[in-house]
């Protein structure tokens, strides 16, 4: 979790971090504030807020109302009187199995650095996990189909050789297929999908291309020429980077439509009672929102902007009219 992401974490996330923070510090005797903040992916201010909250924690053992004794003066954190929660967290069988599956998927990512270190982590976890390792060993995961794997192999060769590629690429937001030449920069996995990052000569900018949306691929007889000023995208906080210029869209969701809040990056999520939600999201192109609204049907509706809500109602009416004509 990045520092930016930490600002929006839930109380459940924070509780998990607090429970992990105590054994982390106790096992090291003293830890620098800067080091601990980096280890947990939060800002130093957030870490200080967590430490101040720990001051309020009182343990029933060894004596009643025994507060956790901690200090972070001089930039060094020390924790005492916290024996009952100082033990390292232990994974359940399902948690260990899920972690092993994820690590094995990560080991198959092309271009992964320090693969030996990852292999050692997997081996240690398998030894400690016992039955969970057997469960994970029965799970077979394939990322993408045969075409995706073939495209990945071609892209790896292009990256190694420093060659430009030609993509036939499907853009779902506009429901169109585009042709473009791209100078590859790297392959990366973000939120479970594999992407090619490269300098798009059509857009004259750095772009990310999902490999499973590449419908055609060819390596060109031309050297890749990425401009000196081209910067890799920071994807630690996810792919979505809303702009103030993007359209703000408000949806109201029935209980059966709550999945939208988990599946799409939302600017705000408000409980309306009885399981209903109001979500606000930003998008540079509202065409995909129309498709989402039609897909939701009675599970949700567009509230704002009013012209988008009217467009959705008009498209729904046209779709229903086709059934009447049939």
Confidence of residue 4 (pLDDT cuts 50, 70, 90): very low
Which pLDDT belongs to residue 2? 38
Which architecture, in CATH terms, is 146-223? Roll (2.30)
Which pLDDT belongs to residue 221? 93
Q: Does domain 3-85 have CATH number 1.10.10.10?
A: yes
pLDDT in tens, 138-161: 555 555 556 677 888 899 999 999
Q: How far is CA 208 from CA 20, 197, 216, 232, 249, in A?
A: 35, 5, 16, 10, 24
Answer positive or negative: Cα dihedral of 149, 138, 16, 277.
positive
Which pLDDT belongs to residue 254? 92
* DSSP at 73: G
3-class state of residue 109 by DSSP:
coil
Which pLDDT belongs to residue 57? 61
Please, which residues have CB within 8 angstroms of residue 233's CB and are 6 or more apart in sequence? 197, 206, 208, 239
Please, which residues have CB within 8 angstroms of residue 42's CB and are 6 or more apart in sequence? 1, 3, 6, 17, 50
- Token reading at 243: 């702009």
pLDDT in tens, 198-249: 999 998 988 889 888 899 999 999 999 999 888 887 776 566 666 677 889 9
CA distance 268 to 250: 9
Which pLDDT belongs to residue 1? 38
Please give the distance of CA 47 from its chain centroid, rounded to a whole number: 22
A 10 A CB-CB count for 222 gives 12
Among 118-132, 191-205, 222-236, 252-266, the minimum mean pLDDT is found in 118-132
If you write DSSP's letter for every residue of 27-72 in order, what string do you get? TTSEEEHHHHHHHHT--HHHHHHHHHHHTT-EE-SSSTTEE-EEE-
Neighbouring-strand partners of residue 208: 197
The CA-based angle 168-173-177, given to 5 degrees, is 20
The CA-based angle 77-80-83, given to 5 degrees, is 125
Q: What percent of the chain has pLDDT over 90?
A: 21
Q: How high does pLDDT run on average in the chain? A: 78
CA distance 77 to 44: 12
Confidence of residue 6 (pLDDT cuts 50, 70, 90): very low
Which pLDDT belongs to residue 8? 44
């Amino acid at each position: 979790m990045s520092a930016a992401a930490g600002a929006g974490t839930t109380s459940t996330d924070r509780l998990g971090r607090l429970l992990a923070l105590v054994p982390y510090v106790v096992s090291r005797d003293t830890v620098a504030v800067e080091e601990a903040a980096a280890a947990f992916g939060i800002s130093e201010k957030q870490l200080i807020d967590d430490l101040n909250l720990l001051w309020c924690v009182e343990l029933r053992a060894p004596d009643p109302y025994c507060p956790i004794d901690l200090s972070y003066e001089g930039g060094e954190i020390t924790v005492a009187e916290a024996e009952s929660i100082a033990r390292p967290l232990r994974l359940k069988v399902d948690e260990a199995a899920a972690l092993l599956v994820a690590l094995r998927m990560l080991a198959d990512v092309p271009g992964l650095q320090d693969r030996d270190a990852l292999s050692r982590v997997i081996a240690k976890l398998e030894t400690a996990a016992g039955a969970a390792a057997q469960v994970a060993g029965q799970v077979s995961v394939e990322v993408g189909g045969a075409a995706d794997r073939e495209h990945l192999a071609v892209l790896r060769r292009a990256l190694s050789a420093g060659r430009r590629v030609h993509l036939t690429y499907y853009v779902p937001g506009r429901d169109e297929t585009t042709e473009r030449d791209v100078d590859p920069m790297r392959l990366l996995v973000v939120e479970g999908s594999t992407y090619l990052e490269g300098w798009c000569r059509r857009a004259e900018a750095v772009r990310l291309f999902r490999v499973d949306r590449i419908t055609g691929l060819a390596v060109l007889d031309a050297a890749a020429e990425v401009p000196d000023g081209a910067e890799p995208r920071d994807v630690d906080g996810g792919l979505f980077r809303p702009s103030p210029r993007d359209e703000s869209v408000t949806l109201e969701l029935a209980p059966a439509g709550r999945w939208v809040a988990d599946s799409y990056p939302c600017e705000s999520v408000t409980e309306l009672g009885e399981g209903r939600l109001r979500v606000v999201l930003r998008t540079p192109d509202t065409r995909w929102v129309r498709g989402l609204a039609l897909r939701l049907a009675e599970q949700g509706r567009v509230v704002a902007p009013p012209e988008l809500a009217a467009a959705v109602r008009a498209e729904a009416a046209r779709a229903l009219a086709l059934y009447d004509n049939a």
